[in-house]
Amino acid sequence: MTNRFFIRLTLEEDERQVLSPYACLSSQSKGRERTEQPCPLRTCFQHDRDRILHCKSFRRLKHKTQVFLSPEGDHYRTRLTHTLEVSQIARTISRSLRLNEDLTEAISLGHDLGHTPFGHAGERVLDQLLPQGFHHCRQSLRVVDVLEKDGRGLNLTHEVRDGILRHSKGRGPVRMLPGSRGSLEGQAVRLADIIAYVNHDLDDALRAGVVSRDQVPQDLLEVLGQSHSQRINCLIHDCLFASEISATGEIRLSDPLLAAITDLRDWLFQHVYQVASVHDDFAKAERLISELFAYFMSRPEIMPHYGAAPLSDESLETQVADFIAGMSDRYALRLYEELFLPRPWRSLVL
Instruction: Return the number of the residue (101 or 201) whose C-beta is nearest Mg ion.
Output: 201
Considering the rule CB under 5 A, would residue 201 count as an interface residue with Mg ion?
no
Total site size for Mg ion, rule CB under 5 A:
2
Residue 204 CB, nearest distance to Mg ion (Å)? 14
Nearest to 104 by CA among 61, 56, 159, 145: 159
Residue 195 CB, nearest distance to Mg ion (Å)? 11
Among 193, 201, 204, 238, binds Mg ion (CB under 5 A): 193
The span from the CA of 41 to the CA of 350, in Å, is 67
Considering the rule CB under 5 A, would residue 85 count as an interface residue with Mg ion?
no
Instruction: Return the number of the residue (112 or 148) whose C-beta is nearest Mg ion.
Output: 112
Instruction: Return the number of the residue (164 or 335) whose C-beta is nearest Mg ion.
Output: 164
Instruction: Return the number of the residue (112 or 162) whose C-beta is nearest Mg ion.
Output: 112
Of 4-12, 188-196, 285-293, 306-314, the segment contacting Mg ion by CB under 5 A is: 188-196
Residue 83 CB, nearest distance to Mg ion (Å)? 7
Instruction: Return the number of the residue (126 or 335) whose C-beta is nearest Mg ion.
Output: 126
Instruction: Return the number of the residue (32 or 136) whose C-beta is nearest Mg ion.
Output: 136
Of 36-44, 142-150, 193-201, 220-228, the segment contacting Mg ion by CB under 5 A is: 193-201
Among 112, 162, 185, 329, binds Mg ion (CB under 5 A): 112
Considering the rule CB under 5 A, would residue 238 count as an interface residue with Mg ion?
no
Strand partners of residue 32 = 157
Instruction: Return the number of the residue (125 or 189) whose C-beta is nearest Mg ion.
Output: 189
Residue 111 CB, nearest distance to Mg ion (Å)? 6
Residue 52 CB, nearest distance to Mg ion (Å)? 14
Residue 303 CB, nearest distance to Mg ion (Å)? 27
Instruction: Return the number of the residue (112 or 201) whose C-beta is nearest Mg ion.
Output: 112
Contact residues toward Mg ion (CB under 5 A) are: 112, 193
